[in-house]
Structure 1
Amino acid sequence: MAAPFFSTPFQPYVYQSPQDAITPFQILGGEAQVVQIMLKPQEKIIAKPGSMCFMSGSIEMENSYLPENEVGIWQWLFGKNISSIVLRNSGQSDGFVGIAAPYFARILPVCGYMHL
């Protein structure tokens, strides 16, 4: 029997490292992919407004104005973001945040550390 047209052949990509400096994440989805980032207690990430899809119950979201964008109103007029969101795990256990692009996109995993 053939697979339904809405099924995806892609398996979730899971990245975990023995190093504590590397944050574990998963890439979920087919054509429109989402990065699910695992956050330890009191760990935070910074994202652009509108990119957060879902989060666990222990995640707090805070909107912050970026001080380095005080260079002028011209950047704001031509589409540069002047704010960002800070997602912080305020709970005692691990939490997660799902982040995606505002359009259909594939996410390519890149190694986040270098061997010296």
Structure 2
Amino acid sequence: MVQYEKARLDASFAALSDATRRGVLEQLGRADASITDLAEKFHMTLTGMKKHVSVLEQAGLVTTEKVGRVRTCKLGLRGLDEEAAWIESYRQLWDARFDDLDEVVEELKRKEKLDGRNKRE
């Protein structure tokens, strides 16, 4: 299995675990926005939004730039390729396990049919 940088995955998944932060990423995917605009859009205080943006920034998912009194946020330069690869490896593992389970269920159904026929004879 591919080796992943644990701290990076932890930071990414922690950042993505919150619905507001996922919403901020969606919003920034459409257009850059100031922290004030984001706070208004998500009906929260400026301080609350700054905390969310800070978590996203620490994970490398968002960058900010201060010009004058306005701090503008935009999507970070790194994507979520490593996180997607980690998820994909587990998806493949679970798919294989469910395929094995399907085979067991089908075998049990075949045996049940045979047992039913043998009892009638």
TM-score (norm 1): 0.25
Q: Looking at secondary structure, tell me which structure has more strand per residue.
A: 1
TM-score (norm 2): 0.25
Q: Looking at secondary structure, tell me which structure has more helix per residue.
A: 2
State which structure, 1 or 2, has the greater radius of gyration over its C-alpha atoms: 2
The answer to which structure, 1 or 2, has the higher relative contact order (CA under 8 A, 6+ apart) is 1
